Amino acid sequence: MKTKSIAIVLIFLTTISVFSGCQPKHPKIGILIHSYENERWIKDKDYLVENLTKLGAEVLLEVADNDQQKQISQAQDMINKGAKVLIVVPIDQDEAAKIVELAQKAEVKVIAYDRLINGCQLDYYVSTNSVNTGEIQAKYLLSLKPKGNYALIGGSKYDNNSSRLFLGQMNIFQPLMESGDVSLSYSEFGEAWTKDDGYRQAKIITEKYSEGLTGIICGNDNQALGAIMALKEAGLEGKILLAGQDAELENLRAISDGLQTCTILKPLQETALTTAELAVALAKNKKINQQFTTESNGKVLVKSILVNATVVTSSNIETTVVASGFHTSAEINQ
């Protein structure tokens, strides 16, 4: 009888072991970064890795250097290595759908990070609220000059965030355009989120539309640096309101020097922690506690978490950027 009881216990323990094997203690989670083209992406990567590791995940990390086909291959490699969840910063919002398709076949979940992936059965999307970001960019410049002639340098046409930023900006500008208080002389999307693209577009603006120009809103701080170059060449540096996004170190210095008006501080730590918690819960088949909204990617309504950002000006760098630990006063003022 005793021997029979021991056998039953052994069978029970073996069964538990088999089933627990389906939920590894340290699940593999992949992070696919598009590139480190500006410093904020290094911070995103560090925050994601730190939080995933603390939550017990084994992290697989790859950077695609803005090559979408390379990123698709990296995703397949991670799936082959046993990744349970992929966190993806896509290069091309449409082509990256192939990553989601590969993941679905392997029953791997995909979280689009910061950039939506279109035209596929995407599982989740976590990002800063780009519509809100566009709104606060426009609101701040208009608080300084509520009437005038503005120009919009859009972000990459391959990134859904660009159109969402534009939508937020137009939510604020459109009523004033209808009343005649504001005119919009230029508005185009770019090829990339780069200084060169910002310079190219700002050069067009300074050569064709600079007379009576009040302000320029750029998609990000890289583009704003390019715009500063073009404004300097036209003798307009510091004379035209200029907004960017990402609170890059060089741009914060430009704000302190009066060459840029404002930037946007994204809540990268909060976004990375939220993403890590979601990814680990999915990988371990645990209950998900987050509250979701939905965003359409052209095929499905994607469960989404959107976090609002903060405007940064010369008067609040200390209470925003420095207080958050994003950059130190010494770094900004060196």
Q: 17 pLDDT band (50/70/90 cuts)?
A: very low
Burial 201-219 (b: 16+ CB within 10 A, else e): bbbebbeebbeebbbbbbb
Predicted confidence (pLDDT) at residue 242 exceeds the cutoff of 50: yes
In a domain, 296, yes or no: yes
Predicted confidence (pLDDT) at residue 248 exceeds the cutoff of 50: yes
In a domain, 35, yes or no: yes
Domain identity same for 162 and 78: no
| Amino acid at position 220, single letter | N
C-alpha span between 261 and 268 (Å, rounded): 22
Domain identity same for 113 and 145: no
pLDDT in tens, 164-217: 999 999 999 999 999 999 999 999 999 999 999 999 999 999 999 988 999 999
Domain identity same for 216 and 325: yes
Tokens of 187: 């508005």
**124 contacts: CB under 8 Å, gap ≥ 6:** 109, 110, 111, 112, 278, 282, 302, 303, 304, 305
pLDDT in tens, 19-46: 444 556 899 999 999 999 888 899 999 9
Domain identity same for 149 and 236: yes
pLDDT in tens, 164-176: 999 999 999 999 9
Region of 212 please: left (phi>0), alpha (psi -120 to 50) or beta: left
Domain identity same for 226 and 160: yes
Q: Decide: 74 and 83 in contact? Cβ < 8 Å.
A: no
pLDDT in tens, 49-71: 999 999 999 999 999 999 999 99
Total domain count, the chain: 2
In a domain, 117, yes or no: yes
- Arithmetic mean of pLDDT, 127-142: 97
For residue 6, the model assigns a pLDDT of 47
In a domain, 1, yes or no: no
Q: 9 pLDDT band (50/70/90 cuts)?
A: very low
pLDDT in tens, 300-315: 999 999 999 999 999 9
Domain identity same for 58 and 43: yes
Label the pairing between strands 148-156 and 263-265: unpaired
Q: Where are the alpha helices (DSSP H) in the chain?
A: 2-20, 39-54, 68-80, 97-105, 130-144, 160-179, 195-208, 221-233, 249-256, 268-283, 317, 323-324, 329-333
Angle subtended by helix axes 268-283 and 39-54, to nearest 10: 40
Q: Decide: 86 and 282 in contact? Cβ < 8 Å.
A: no
Domain identity same for 184 and 319: yes
Domain identity same for 190 and 329: yes
Q: Which structural domain range is residue 288 located in? A: 7-122+268-306
Instruction: Identify the CA nearest to 62 among candidates 82, 88, 38.
Output: 88
In a domain, 2, yes or no: no
Domain identity same for 147 and 249: yes
In a domain, 113, yes or no: yes
Domain identity same for 327 and 199: yes
More confident of the two residues 8 and 63? 63
Domain identity same for 194 and 294: no
In a domain, 173, yes or no: yes
Domain identity same for 272 and 295: yes
CATH classification of the domain holding 187: 3.40.50.2300
- The per-residue pLDDT of the chain, averaged, comes to 93
Between 12-21, 94-103, 323-332, the lowest mean confidence (pLDDT) is in 12-21
For residue 225, the model assigns a pLDDT of 98
